[in-house]
Each structure stands twice: as structure tokens, then as C-alpha cells.
Amino acid sequence: MALEFTDANFQTEVLDSKTLNVIDFWAEWCGPCRAIGPVIEELSKEYAGKVKIGKINVDVNPNTSVQYGITSIPAILFIKDGKVVDKQIGAVPKSVLDKKIQSHL
């Protein structure tokens, strides 16, 4: 199951982590966000133990969204060793995200 990231746990769960983190910035009212949600869940199961995959609700956690300049959602950031190594804006097929994850493992 995809992890739930928040402004409060982002530093310890994501930035201090040595593994690849895939973070889906989303909101309840966002149609494309709801469309990509099941894909994020599938990837989190497939990469369990290898990659941290989770979601952060931009309405509830505005600080992290502002910190990373998130202006369009869904926005998926790929963070490794505390740095953004890739990003994807908008809903895309699972294969696109899978390819990006593979390239950073």
C-alpha cells in the first residue's frame, strides 16, 4: 500500500531516506489524480522493500508543495538521497512511471 507523506514526516520519511522515493502530489478534487491513484498503489506493491512510494495531499500539506514548487497536479517527484532526480507532471500510463523508477534504481 502506498505510504502517506505529510509536511510533518517528509523530512524523515523521504529526505533522510537512502532509497528512491516516488511521491505523488495529489488532491481529492483532482480527476487526473484519482485516475493515477490505482497506478501508484500497484507500483507500491510491486516495489515494496525496494522503493518508497507514497502520496501527499497538497490541500492538507501545503508547505511541502510550496517547497517543491508544485503548481500542477498530479505531480510525481522522484527523490533519492534528498534530491529530486526526476519528475512527471500529469497522469501517465504505468509503463512511463515504471521506466522512470527503473532508471533510478
Catalytic residues: 30, 33
CB 39 within 8 A of CB 18: no
Please state, as a whole number, how many other Cβ atoms lie within 10 Å of the Cβ of residue 93. Answer: 10
Instruction: Single out the residue of 98, 89, 57 nearest to residue 71, CA to CA.
Output: 89
CB 7 within 8 A of CB 23: no
